[in-house]
Homo-oligomer: A and B are copies of this chain.
């Protein structure tokens, strides 16, 4: 089954961005590559606020022709525009639809509010984090409270240059059918 992977770079204190959306604190170590991750996915999902930041940073346009990209929004009309598909379904209904079609894994790329919606609905199957060695002290959290407790299993823990580490976790749904 196509897995939903929450994948992001964060600060040591758990922020995906500065209060203004800036991600200048993140870096790509020379001994690290996102290529293996990108080979496992064909779809990206983000929240509307994350799109707004991406648009601001990208000079008004955002599209990635290599990935089917969906944007969750309550305010924007659903449908295909500018290489993106706007969605206003519930995460559960949307993922159910997506899984009916064959494909690779689904990258939940942020932000925190959408991650929380997905965690509330227990739709996150894997977490893939890159943690950089800085405390920002303030910012946009990856895991904004509240959502129900979710157990995971550590799949991989790797160290890269300049002190970035990557952690990969898999959701463990013990006793789900009891």
Contacts and interface: CB of A to CB of B under 8 A. Distances in A.
17 contacts: A12-B152, A13-B142, A25-B149, A133-B151, A134-B150, A135-B149, A135-B150, A136-B149, A137-B143, A137-B148, A137-B149, A152-B163, A153-B163, A154-B163, A154-B164, A154-B165, A157-B159
Nearest to A171: B135
A169 B13 CA distance: 13
Interface string A148-176: 11111110010100011101010000000
B134 A138 contact: no
A135 to B, nearest CB: 5
A149 B15 CA distance: 12
Interface of A: 12-14, 25, 119, 127, 133-139, 142-143, 145-154, 157, 159, 163-165, 167, 169
A46 to B, nearest CB: 20
